Amino acid sequence: MQPLVIESGANGHSTFSLPVSDYVENKNLAGGAAESITVPAGAKFAVFSATADFYVNYSATAAEIADTSDGSGDEINPAIRNISGVTTISIYSTDANKVSVAFYS
């Protein structure tokens, strides 16, 4: 699995860059149903991309956003997350949606 890299740019300052991931999971979501992705061994970061809005939960089944007052809500459209310690990612979309998750160590 490719590492997430911070390198020195041309001006000598740190630059965030993503090498091409060698581990990507794709999900074709049928609107209204959650799907799970098992986090591969050694993954520390997940980079998400989708064709429409999607909801993610790292400890329970994702669902359409509803009011919460206990911190248990789903996250909408995350970009990149540190997933150290996470074993399963649940993804939900209200409409048909294509979601990809690229993993990095």
Domain assignment present for residue 27? The answer is yes
Q: What is the pLDDT of residues 17-31, one digit of tens each?
A: 788 999 999 999 999
Task: Please compute the mean of the pLDDT values over residues 8-23 and round it to a whole number.
Answer: 80
Does pTM surpass 0.75?
yes
What pLDDT score does 64 carry? Answer: 85
Q: What is the pLDDT of residues 30-47, one digit of tens each?
A: 999 999 999 999 999 999
Domain assignment present for residue 3? The answer is no
Count of alpha carbons within 13 Å of 28, Cβ hemisphere only?
A: 0
Parent domain of 56: 23-65+74-104
Count of alpha carbons within 13 Å of 96, Cβ hemisphere only?
A: 0
Question: Would you say 97 and 91 are in contact if contact means Cβ atoms under 8 Å apart?
Answer: no
Count of alpha carbons within 13 Å of 69, Cβ hemisphere only?
A: 0
End-to-end CA distance of the chain: 6
Domain assignment present for residue 57? The answer is yes
Domain assignment present for residue 99? The answer is yes
Evaluate if residue 66 carries a pLDDT over 90: no
**How many domains is the chain built from?**
1
